[in-house]
Every structure is written in structure tokens, then in C-alpha cells.
């Protein structure tokens, strides 16, 4: 059970409320290219406005390496947010300092100020005490609604909580924890976990933690070929993590012992190179020719996976089934997306590339929950404690 204080349990009226949001969004030519994370923060921001709080928003954007850079400014984000809110969003030149304090002082109830990129200061990622204190000095109430950054022990997610009287979660962070937490504690069965993406090393912790909780693992993407090679398959030039093969064998053995079905791709769309509309062939079974690489799951696997997905009551999907960014290697991922959308079960999409894939497949509105945090959702599903959540105020 989630036992942290939430924003709707704190008095906000007239107070300075610092909300750590996750506005780490793609910006191209001065325009926000994907506003999913901004939209997901709106319930928390709108609630604070309705409560007549004086709102200060803070976020990082990209990797500016601890110094100011116009390419990583949050100004385009402020403009986009003002359109979504249909209200002005003021901006600050920095995120700490006298000018920022002066700007906060002039905030009226219901007004919004977006601070400049936190990572323009190296002290943010170092979780430096002085920087955390400076951020805390801007507010009466601190709210963390940045699930995508909750796995980082940074000044704005963890350090600041030591210097504020109350550190609450926002609605997005609470929603993420409730949806993902149910997968670990009370999933409806049959529970199917679809795991893909490039590397076993990214997902092995999740696989291990879910053994005993799921009924079936479906494996696609590059990571499947480490498992296939580990049991003697020929994988050609397919992506393999040679140093993870023993770990792959151990994981499959643990799944067998727990009576969990473990199903890697059975046929494969292969090509000699990754490029749009490259010549392809379908290989049945684990014998991919030398010089060829598997870049998508094949038609038999798509249908077999779809049958299992249609029978599921709970579905976790983390990682695409192939190089979906490059046609024609998107077809397996889109077929799985369609099956998940039509399943009628509770479907949790694990952020990152998988979230992008369901959007591109046109079925994002059919998913129960799409996580805003790729790395954070993986660490949570591994069973790790997330510093940005652990640091919040416990309910009494």
C-alpha cells in the first residue's frame, strides 16, 4: 500500500508550492515535439491552481553537463504549458538565487512560474546539500510529481526533502506507483509479461523479480537472441550479450522451477543490414544464417503471442519486439500492440520506446496505463527502492 502524503492532503491556499515535474521532453527547433509528460503533469498543476497556490515548477531537460546552454532551456516548454493551461506561465533565468527569490515573491495565488533547467547546475545531480537548501528556500510545500526522475537521488528529488516541512507526491507519481505496484502485489491472473528491447542487461532484474508473479513471459527484441544463443541456437549477426548468457540460462532455469512459461520468438524477420525497406526473409526456428540478423519477430510468433495476450487479465509490456523505428521491422511490435489493445485485460506499458511504439501504432488510448518513466519503471519493477519516493513524507 502506498503510504506517502499526497498533494490533496496538504493545505495549499496562498502557499508557495514547489512542484518537481518531469518536463524532460524532446524539443526541436524551439518547439515541444512530444508533450506526453507535460500533459500527464496537468492534473497536479491544475489542482494546485484551483487551491490558489503560488506555484513554482522545476525540472531538468536533457544533459547540459552542469552549465547553462540555450539548447536545453525550458522556455519552449513554458510556452507550450501556457497553451495547455490557457494561462500565462512565467519563466525565471535560473532556478536559484536572488532574482528567482524576487520572482517568487511577486507570484499571486494561482500563478505559475517555471524555473530554468535544474541541470544547469552540477550540484543538482550531485545532490549537493547547499543546492537542495536553496531550492527548499523557495517554498512552503514541496511536491514531487516527476516519476521519470524518482530513481535518481538528486537535489530536487531527494536532497530537498530534508529541508522542507512536508514533501508530498503529485497525482501522476501516485498513479504510477499504484498501477506498477499492483503488478508486484495483486495482479489478476493470467498475468503475461512481454519483454523486448535490445539488451538482457536492461531487463534481467525485472525478469528475476517477476518470476513467481507472472504466468508467462513472451520474449522479443534483441534481448531474445542472448537467450536463444544460450540454449544452443544459431543467431547469425543478431545482437547478443555474450557476458550475459550464463545469467540467461539461470533465469530460464528459475522460470522452469517456478512453472512460469518462458517463450522467446520462434520465427524471425532477418536482414543483412538495418535500413528502411532492406531485403528481408523469415527464418523459422533458431537457425539464423551467418551474415544475417534478426530484426523483428516473425508472423508465427506474432500470432502465438496474440493468442496468449488475448487470454490475459494483466499485461506488462516493456520493450519493442524489433527495430520498430525502421520499416518494415515495426510489424511485430505493431501486431503485439494491437493484441494488447484488444485484450480487454489491464495493460501497463513500461515507458520509453514501448510508449512511443503504442503511440505510433495508434492504440495508446486503449492502454490502461502508459508509464512516463522508462528507467524509473524498470527499477521499480525490479523491486528497488526509488530515492525520490522513499524521501517523501509518510502518512501518519
63 half-sphere exposure, CB direction, 13 A CA radius: 0
Query: One of 75, 199, 300, 366 is an active-site residue; which one?
Result: 199
Question: What proportions of the chain, in percent to the nearest 5, are helix, strand and coil?
Answer: 40, 20, 40
**Rounded CA separation 393/151 (Å):** 17
Locate 219 and state its grid cell.
520474449
90 catalytic? Reply is: no
Locate 379 and state its grid cell.
527499477
CA angle 99–150–354, rounded 5-degree value: 120
Helix ranges restricted to H, 107-244: 122-125, 129-136, 171-185, 200-210, 224-230
Name the nearest CA neighbour of 121 among 112, 108, 109, 130.
130
148 half-sphere exposure, CB direction, 13 A CA radius: 22
**Rounded CA separation 10/106 (Å):** 23
Name the nearest CA neighbour of 61 among 113, 127, 118, 115.
118
CB atoms within 10 A of CB 112: 23
Contact criterion met (CB below 8 Å) for 337 and 214: no
256 catalytic? Reply is: no
Locate 194 and state its grid cell.
512481454
Query: One of 37, 119, 152, 302 is an active-site residue; which one?
Result: 37
**Rounded CA separation 323/277 (Å):** 12
CB atoms within 10 A of CB 98: 8
Name the helix (H) or strand (E) containing 18.
strand 16-20
Query: One of 66, 110, 181, 375 is an active-site residue; which one?
Result: 375
384 catalytic? Reply is: no
Q: Which residues of 332-353 are buried (b: 16+ CB within 10 A; e: fewer)?
A: bbbbbbbbbbebebbbbbbbbb
Strand partners, 394: 4
Q: Is 319 helix (H, G, I), strand (E, B) or coil?
A: coil
174 catalytic? Reply is: no
Query: One of 148, 220, 352, 388 is an active-site residue; which one?
Result: 352
Catalytic residues: 37, 199, 352, 375
Amino acid at each position: 500500500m502506498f503510504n506517502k502524503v499526497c498533494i490533496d492532503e496538504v493545505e495549499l491556499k496562498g502557499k508557495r508550492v514547489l512542484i518537481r515535474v518531469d518536463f524532460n521532453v524532446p524539443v526541436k527547433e524551439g518547439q515541444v515535439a512530444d508533450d506526453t509528460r507535460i500533459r500527464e503533469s496537468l492534473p497536479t498543476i491544475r489542482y494546485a491552481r484551483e487551491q490558489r497556490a503560488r506555484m513554482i515548477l522545476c525540472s531538468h531537460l536533457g544533459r547540459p553537463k552542469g552549465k547553462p546552454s540555450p539548447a536545453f532551456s525550458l522556455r519552449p516548454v513554458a510556452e507550450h504549458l501556457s497553451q495547455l493551461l490557457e494561462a500565462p506561465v512565467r519563466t525565471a533565468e535560473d532556478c536559484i538565487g536572488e532574482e528567482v527569490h524576487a520572482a517568487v515573491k511577486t507570484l499571486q495565488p494561482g500563478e505559475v512560474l517555471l524555473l530554468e533547467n535544474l541541470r544547469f547546475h552540477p550540484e543538482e545531480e550531485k545532490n549537493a546539500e547547499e543546492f537542495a537548501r536553496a531550492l527548499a528556500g523557495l517554498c512552503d510545500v514541496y511536491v514531487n510529481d516527476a516519476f521519470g526522475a524518482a530513481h535518481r537521488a538528486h537535489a530536487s528529488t531527494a536532497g530537498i526533502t530534508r529541508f522542507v516541512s512536508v514533501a508530498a507526491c503529485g497525482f501522476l507519481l501516485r498513479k504510477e506507483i499504484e498501477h506498477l505496484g499492483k503488478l508486484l502485489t495483486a495482479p489478476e491472473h493470467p498475468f503475461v509479461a512481454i519483454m523486448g528491447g535490445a539488451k538482457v542487461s536492461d531487463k534481467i532484474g525485472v525478469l528475476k523479480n517477476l518470476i513467481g508473479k507472472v504466468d508467462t513471459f513472451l520474449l522479443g527484441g534483441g534481448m531474445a537472441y542472448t537467450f536463444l544463443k544460450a540454449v544452443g541456437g544459431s543467431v547469425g549477426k543478431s545482437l547478443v550479450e555474450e557476458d550475459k548468457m550464463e545469467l540467461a540460462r539461470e533465469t530460464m532455469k528459475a522460470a522452469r522451477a517456478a512453472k512460469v512459461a518462458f517463450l522467446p520468438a520462434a520465427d524471425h524477420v532477418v536482414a543483412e543490414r538495418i535500413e528502411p525497406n532492406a531485403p528481408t526473409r523469415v527464418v523459422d526456428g533458431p537457425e539464423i544464417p551467418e551474415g544475417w540478423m534478426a530484426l523483428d519477430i516473425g508472423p508465427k510468433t506474432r500470432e502465438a503471442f496474440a493468442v496468449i495476450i488475448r487470454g490475459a487479465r494483466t499485461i506488462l509490456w516493456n520493450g519493442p519486439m524489433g527495430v520498430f523505428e525502421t520499416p518494415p521491422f515495426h510489424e511485430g511490435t505493431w501486431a503485439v500492440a494491437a493484441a494488447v489493445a484488444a485484450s480487454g485485460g489491464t495493460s501497463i506499458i513500461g515507458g520509453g520506446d514501448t510508449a512511443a511504439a503504442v503511440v505510433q501504432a495508434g492504440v495508446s488510448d486503449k492502454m490502461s496505463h502508459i508509464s512516463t518513466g522508462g528507467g524509473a519503471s524498470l527499477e521499480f519493477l525490479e523491486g528497488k527502492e526509488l530515492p525520490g519516493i522513499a524521501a517523501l513524507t509518510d502518512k501518519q
